[in-house]
Structure 1
Amino acid sequence: MSETREKLEEMGFRILDAVRTELLLSMRFMAPALNSLGFKMDLATSYAGTDAAYIRFNPGFLLQTYVERPRKMNRMYVHMLVHCLFRHMFTAKEREDPELWDLSCDIAAESVVDSMTYDVIARSHSSFRDYWYEKLEQEVTILTAEKIYAWFFGRARDYSVEEALRREFSVDDHSFWQRLEDEEDPDQTPQKKTPPGAPP
C-alpha cells in the first residue's frame, strides 16, 4: 500500500472513530451496534456504504462531509447501522425490483433515525418527508422495508415520485449489497453432501 493511500485510509479511520465516539456519548444504548462494524477505505464508492461487516468509504467524501456537515455524517452512520440491524442487505436478492427495495429500505431506515430524539443526529424535516411518513403510516401502519416495498410494488408505479423519494431518503451506497447476493446467509447451517453410495 502506498504512503498516500495509507494516510487517506488513516484519515478515514480517524473520522469514523470520532463519529462513533460522539454517537456513543449520546446514545450509549447503541454501543454494541456502534462497535459492530469495522472500517475500510474503498475507492469503488464515491461516498460510503456498508456490507454488514465494514463501513466502506471514500476518504474525500468523509473529509468534506465531516468538515462541512458533521451531523450528516452522524446520521449516515446510524442509518447504515439500521440497515444492518434489520438485515436489509441480506434479503435484497429476494426482491423482484432491487431499486425499489433500496428505496424502501432507505425510507424505513430514515424513519427509525428520525424517530430518535438526539441532537447529535437531529435534522429539520421537509414537508415532503413528513407527507410521505404520514401517508405510508396510514397505508402500512408500521414502516418496515418489507411493507413499504409491497405497497409500492402493488400499485401503479409513478417513477417520477419514486425518484423524488430517492433524492429525499437516499443516504448511503447500496452497491456493496450486491456482493452479498451469492453468499449464503450466515444464520443458515450448510447442508452436508452425502457421498455417492453412502446411506441417506
Structure 2
Amino acid sequence: MSDSGTFKVNPIHDAQQRALAAEAICQDILTGARNQLYLNMRFLDSALAALPFVGEMGIHPVGTDGNVLYYQPEELMELFKKGTEKVNRVYLHSLLHCIFLHVFPERDSEGNPAVDVQYWNLACDIAVENMIDGLYLKCVHQPASMVKRQALSLILEEGKVPTAQRIYRRLQTLHLPENKMQELRREFSQDDHSKWYENHPNSPQMSQRKKNWDDIRNRMQTEMETFSKEAGQGGETLADQLRAQNRNRYDYREFLRKFSVLKEEMKVDMDTFDYIFYNYGMNLYGNMPLIEPLETKEERKVEDFVIVIDTSMSCKGELVQKFLEETYSVLSESESYFRRIHVHILQCDEKIQSDVVIENAMQLKEYMSHFTVKGGGGTDFRPAFAYVEQLMRAKKFTKLRGLIYFTDGYGIYPAKMPPYETAFVFMKEDYQDIDVPPWAIKLILDSEDLEK
C-alpha cells in the first residue's frame, strides 16, 4: 500500500492472472469444440478423449505431437471470435492428422525425416481438408474458395483414395512453382506441424503412441461401418480413408515364401555339427569320429506351385509385369528354390489361354522378357482350377504346394475347395473389400506394395 492509502498494481501478478484467465477461457473453448464434434460424429469418441489441452506460446494457433493438443491462447481466442466453426474445424483437422499417423512421418536410419517436409506438410493438410469437406457437417463447414476447388481437381486422382502419401507423390510430380505452393498452403493449412519432427521416432513412447492411434482408427472404422448414419452425409470420403489406412500392408516376398515347402535335401547341415565330439573321437580312436555331420538338411524352398494371371480386360498389363518381376526376384534368391523347380504360369480369362512351365529362374526371366497378355474376355476362375485338377490327375506335380491367382477380383469362383492352398492376389487401388470363398487366402496389393 502506498502512503496515499491506495494499492500499487503488481505488473507481474497482473500478467499471471491474465494468463490464467486466458488458459481457463481456452480450455472452455476447446471443451466446447470437443463436445460439438462428439455430438455430430460419435465415432470420434476415443480420438477426442486421447488429446488433452496444453497451452504453448510457440504454436500457431494449435498443433499436436500425437499426445497433446497444444494451443496458443491469444490466437485461439481470436479464432473463436471469428466463429465456433473455425475452432471446431482446426480441432478436427489436428485430430485427423493423428488418426491417419501424419504426425509420424517416415524417418531415415539417422532419425531425420525421409520425406520432403514442405511437400509432406502440404499433402497431409490437403488430405485432411478434403476429408472434412466431404463430411458436409455444419459444425465444421467452411466455404471452399475457387482456388481450393481448382487445386483439388488438379491434385486428386480420379478413382483413387486421396491419401496423404498419394497426394505427396502427386505434388512431387507436378513441380509447382513456389508462389503456387504458397497459395496452396494459405488455402489448406490450418494448424502447426512443428511438433511432428521434435520426438525421436524409435523411442518406446513414440511406438506406443502410434499403436494407440492404430487402435483408435480401427475402432473408428468398425463404428462407422456398424452405424453408418453416424458419419453424416458424405462420410464415404472419411470411411475410404480409414479403410485405406487400416488395410494391412503386405510384403509380397514374405507372402510368397509361405508357399514354400519343407523338404529334406542332400546337403551337409553344419548347423547341427559338433566339432568337440568330432575331434575327441579322432584323437581317441585315430580315424573314428564320434559324430559326423548330417548329410541332409531341411530347408524351406519353393517347389511346385501354379501362378494364374487374369488376362481379362480389367487387368492391366503393367501390373502383371510388376507381379511377375517380384515373383521372379523371390524365386531367384540363392536360398529360396530347389535344384529343380516346377511352376506352371497360366493365362486365363474365361478360358485357359496359355500354360508355360518354368523349371528354373532363368526360364522365368526369359518368359518375362517376352511376356504378352493373351485373352481379354471376361473373368471366370473355374477353368484354371479345372485345368490344374487335370494336371494333378496326370501327375504333373511332385507336390503342389499352392496356387496364386493374380486378378482384380471380379469373377466366378469355384464352389468346391481344392486340395491345395489357394491365394487370390487382388490388385485394387480403391481399397474396396472383396468377398472370396472361405477356403481361399485373400491378399490385397497395389502397385506400391509390389514396388516395395
Alignment TM-score, normalising by the size of structure 2: 0.39
Structure 1 CA distance for aligned equivalents of residues 65 and 98 of structure 2: 8
Relative to its length, the structure with more strand (as a share) is: 2
**Paired residue for 1:156?**
175
Q: After superposition, where does 1:1-200 map in structure 2 within 5 Å?
A: 2-91=16-105, 93=107, 94-138=113-157, 141-182=160-201, 184=203, 185-187=206-208
Structure 1 position 139, deviation (Å):
6.3
Deviation string for 1:120-178 (max 9, x for gaps)?
11121112211222222236822111111112223434222111100100000111112
Query: Cα gap change, 1:92/1:4 in structure 2, threshold over 3 Å: closer, same or farther?
Result: farther
Structure 2 unaligned residues grouped into runs of 5+: 1-12, 108-112, 212-452
Structure 1 unaligned residues grouped into runs of 5+: 190-200
Aligned positions, number: 189
Which protein shows a greater Rg? 2
| Contact map agreement 1:49 1:80 (CA 8 A) in 2 | yes
Structure 1 CA distance for aligned equivalents of residues 70 and 186 of structure 2: 21
Structure 2 CA distance for aligned equivalents of residues 92 and 170 of structure 1: 20
Deviation string for 1:48-83 (max 9, x for gaps)?
111111110111111111122221111101111110
Higher relative contact order (CA closer than 8 Å, sequence separation 6+)? 1
Query: Cα gap change, 1:157/1:128 in structure 2, threshold over 3 Å: closer, same or farther?
Result: closer
**Paired residue for 2:254?**
none
Structure 2 CA distance for aligned equivalents of residues 132 and 29 of structure 1: 30
Structure 2 CA distance for aligned equivalents of residues 181 and 105 of structure 1: 20
Query: Cα gap change, 1:85/1:157 in structure 2, threshold over 3 Å: closer, same or farther?
Result: same
Give the 3-state SS of the residue equivalent to 1:88 in structure 2.
coil
Structure 1 CA distance for aligned equivalents of residues 134 and 86 of structure 2: 16
Amino acid at match of 1:186: S
Structure 2 CA distance for aligned equivalents of residues 98 and 65 of structure 1: 26
C-alpha RMSD over aligned residues: 2.2
Deviates more, 1:126-135 or 1:35-44: 126-135
Q: Please identify runs of 4+ aligned residues in structure 1 that moved more than 6 A.
A: none
Structure 2 CA distance for aligned equivalents of residues 107 and 79 of structure 1: 10
Alignment TM-score, normalising by the size of structure 1: 0.85
Query: Cα gap change, 1:156/1:140 in structure 2, threshold over 3 Å: closer, same or farther?
Result: farther
Deviates more, 1:4-13 or 1:44-53: 4-13
Amino acid at match of 1:124: P
Deviates more, 1:86-95 or 1:141-150: 86-95
Structure 1 CA distance for aligned equivalents of residues 176 and 89 of structure 2: 29
